[in-house]
Amino acid sequence: LAKTTQPISMDSYEGQEVNITCSHNNIATNDYITWYQQFPSQGPRFIIQGYKTKVTNEVASLFIPADRKSSTLSLPRVSLSDTAVYYCLVGGVRWTNAGKSTFGDGTTLTVKP
Amino acid sequence: GAVVSQHPSRVICKSGTSVKIECRSLDFQATTMFWYRQFPKKSLMLMATSNEGSKATYEQGVEKDKFLINHASLTLSTLTVTSAHPEDSSFYICSARDSQSYNEQFFGPGTRLTVL
C-alpha cells in the first residue's frame, strides 16, 4: 500500500487560496488519488479524485505531476467552514483487499477570520 | 453522491455487553464495505474489509472474535463489538464501495461508542 505524507497542520485566512500537498512516492500504476474532508465526529466526505494531470470540480482542484509521486489539493477562497482535517488517499482501481487504501495522518486546516 | 447510513449514531453501553452497529448503502449496491475506528484527534484506522457473502478480512492486530463482521446483503454490513470494554470506546466509521464504480468510496456518518 502506498504510504502518504502530508503536513500535520496549516493555517489560512478567509478568502485565501489554500494548497495542501501530499507525497506518495510508492504509488502504483493503477492507483488513484483521492482527497477527503472530515469534520469532528463526522465521516469523511469526498472532495476530489484524480489519476494524473489536473482535475477540477465545483469545490476544489487537484494537481498531479507527471511522476505522480505527489499531489496538491487546491481550495480556492476558503471560508471558516473549510476548517477541517483533509486526508489524501492512494488506492487501487479495483477495490479488492489488495486495493484497499489506508488513511495517513491528514492535514488539519484552520481558517481564521 | 451515494449515501451510506450508520445506526445507531451514538451508543452507550455497560462493560461486558455487546453492541451491534449497522452500515447501509441506501441507493447502491456494495459488494465491499470497510470498517474503521478513530480515536480523538487521530486518523482513521482500517479494521477490516467486509465482502458480501464471505468472511471479512481483518487487519493485523484486530481481533476477529471481538469485532464480528457480517455482510449478509449487498446493502448491509454489521459490526458487533462483543464483550465491550472501556478501551473499545471510539468512533466507528464504515464505508461502502459502489459495485458499479470501483474508484469511489462512500463513508457513513460514524457511530460514537462509549463503554462505561
Under 8 Å between Cβ of A66 and A52: yes
Over residues B59-86, mean pLDDT: 94
pLDDT tens digit sequence for A91-109:
765 444 444 667 888 999 9
Over residues A58-85, mean pLDDT: 96
- How many residues make up chain B in this entry? 116
Count H helices and E strands in chain A, helices first: 0, 9
Q: Looking at CA atoms only, how far is residue B68 from chain A in angstroms?
A: 18
pLDDT tens digit sequence for A8-49:
999 999 999 999 999 999 898 888 898 999 999 999 998 998
Over residues B83-98, mean pLDDT: 94
Q: Which one of B44, B47, B100, B104 would you mutate to disrupt binding with A, by most A Cβ within 10 Å of its Cβ?
A: B44
Residue A20 C-alpha cell reads as 495542501
Q: Which of B36, B103, B108 sits opposite A32 (nearest CB)?
A: B103
pLDDT of residue A100: 62
Q: CB distance from A105 to chain B under 8 Å? A: yes
Q: How confident is the model at residue B1 (pLDDT cuts 50, 70, 90)?
A: low
- Can you point out the beta strands (E) in A5-52? 9-13, 18-23, 32-38, 45-50
Q: Is A21 helix (H, G, I), strand (E, B) or coil?
A: strand
Fill in the amino acid letter for A52: K
pLDDT of residue A92: 62
Query: Among A29-43, A83-97, B102-116, which stretch is predicted with the lowest mean pLDDT?
Result: A83-97
Q: Which of B4, B34, B43 sits opposite A106 (nearest CB)?
A: B43
Over residues B61-78, mean pLDDT: 93
Q: Which residues contact B22 (CB under 8 A, 6 or more apart)?
A: B6, B7, B76, B77, B78
Q: CB distance from A72 to chain B under 8 Å? A: no
Q: What is the 3-state secondary structure (H, E, C) of B20-83?
A: EEEEEECCCCCCEEEEEEECCCCCEEEEEEEECCCCCEECCCCCCCCEEEEEEECCEEEEEECC
Percent of chain B with pLDDT over 90: 74
pLDDT exceeds cutoff 50 at B14: yes
pLDDT exceeds cutoff 80 at B73: yes
Residue B15 C-alpha cell reads as 462493560
Percent of chain B with pLDDT over 70: 96
| C-beta atoms of B106 and A97 within 8 A | no
